[in-house]
Amino acid sequence: MPKKVVIDCDPGVDDALAILLAIFSKELDVLGITTVNGNVGIDLTTENALKIVEKAGSSIPVYRGMKKPLKKPLYSSGDVHGQNGLGGITVPKSKQNVEPISATDYLIQTGRASEGEITLITLGPLTNIAVAIQKDPEAMSNYKEIISMGGGVGVGNITPVAEFNYWVDPEAAKIVFNFDLPITMLGLNATHQTVLTPNDFHFMRLVDSELGEFLAQIHTTCINAYWEFDQLMGCVPHDSLAVAVAADPSLVETVYCNVEIATDGLTRGQSVADVINAWEEKRKNSHVGITVDSERFRDFIFLTLFSDHKDEYDTYKRFLGN
């Protein structure tokens, strides 16, 4: 039976890929999608989520979430994701409407109805989850787990030590990590172990002219940004790792440890993961991703999105020497 999941996201190019993977995955049953301010503002993240659901040929309900962090000013990353969050390309407005209740109310409502079988996959700042926890901790405790793309062990991408999602709203991240719900944290140290290259997107175009072209186009700005900032020829599909781990936890080796979120000073937004168990007295609150089976993760991406083209993918892998 597929795993029931709710996706909280801020689309965002990598969110778009991750949402498509979740919808197409036979291992997952996406019950709903909640949006939050992050990569771009809440109006755009919500509309983008609707567009991606429509692109997948689905009608999964989308719920509009928090428009700003708990305390920090608004911030977006249009230089990576394009000013509209989808690489700057024009995508027709979705015909599907956003749901009438808020994201936080939906999260609480779904939690109340859950019997410990629903997983929360978080791909953006944790504002919605934190607000829902504050409003109804009993309902939120009914979820099975949180699988969160965010943070990192000894690495940052918005400051030397802080990853974007947790830096945007560290107060929210702190509330979530202090809550008594199992968390798997998939940070930059894990996501950086895989890259999608321009060749990968060209292959997608060849096997699926519609979906492949869409993915190639929205990732162009992202690929250009990675080359400009990191001299990397390609892009890191950060959020897709959270979806992949929800479908197959064996893709990542983790360390069960304490994670603290810094909310002050120079390290604001940092996820401090005690992978060496120096703080023995502190509660272990997170399974922190350390090692990714990168080849199987790439297989998951391609064979989930383009399941009818396994033979072509096998040929492409041989071309790459895999």
pLDDT (mean) for 236-254: 98
The pLDDT tens digits of the residues spanning 272-316 come to 999 999 999 999 999 999 999 999 999 999 999 999 999 999 999
pLDDT category of residue 191 using cuts at 50, 70 and 90: very high
pLDDT (mean) for 255-269: 97
Number of domains in the chain: 1
Instruction: Judge contact between 211 and 305, C-beta under 8 A.
Output: yes
Confidence at residue 230, expressed as pLDDT on a 0 to 100 scale:
87
Phi, psi for residue 167 in degrees, rounded to 5? -70, -35
The pLDDT tens digits of the residues spanning 60-92 come to 999 999 999 999 887 766 667 878 889 888 889
Instruction: Judge contact between 249 and 186, C-beta under 8 A.
Output: no
Confidence at residue 273, expressed as pLDDT on a 0 to 100 scale:
98
Query: Can you give the residue range of the structural domain that contains 105?
Result: 3-320
- More confident of the two residues 188 and 76: 188
What's 61's domain CATH number? 3.90.245.10
Beta pairing class for 286-292 and 252-257: antiparallel
Tell whether the model's pLDDT for residue 190 goes beyond 70: yes
Tell whether the model's pLDDT for residue 322 goes beyond 70: no
Confidence at residue 229, expressed as pLDDT on a 0 to 100 scale:
86
pLDDT (mean) for 164-191: 98
Instruction: Judge contact between 303 and 313, C-beta under 8 A.
Output: yes
The pLDDT tens digits of the residues spanning 97-156 come to 999 999 999 999 999 999 999 999 999 999 999 999 999 999 999 999 999 999 999 999
Confidence at residue 78, expressed as pLDDT on a 0 to 100 scale:
62
Q: Which of 8, 10, 200, 239 is the catalytic position? A: 10
Confidence at residue 77, expressed as pLDDT on a 0 to 100 scale:
67
Let me know if 14 is a catalytic residue. Answer: no
Alpha helix stretches (DSSP H) within 114-264: 127-135, 137-140, 164-168, 170-178, 188-191, 198-207, 211-230, 238-247
Tell whether the model's pLDDT for residue 235 goes beyond 90: yes
Burial 39-76 (b: 16+ CB within 10 A, else e): bbbbebbbbbbbbbbbbbebebbbbbbbebbbebeebb
Taking the C-alpha atoms of residue 164 and residue 150, their distance in angstroms, rounded to an integer, is 7
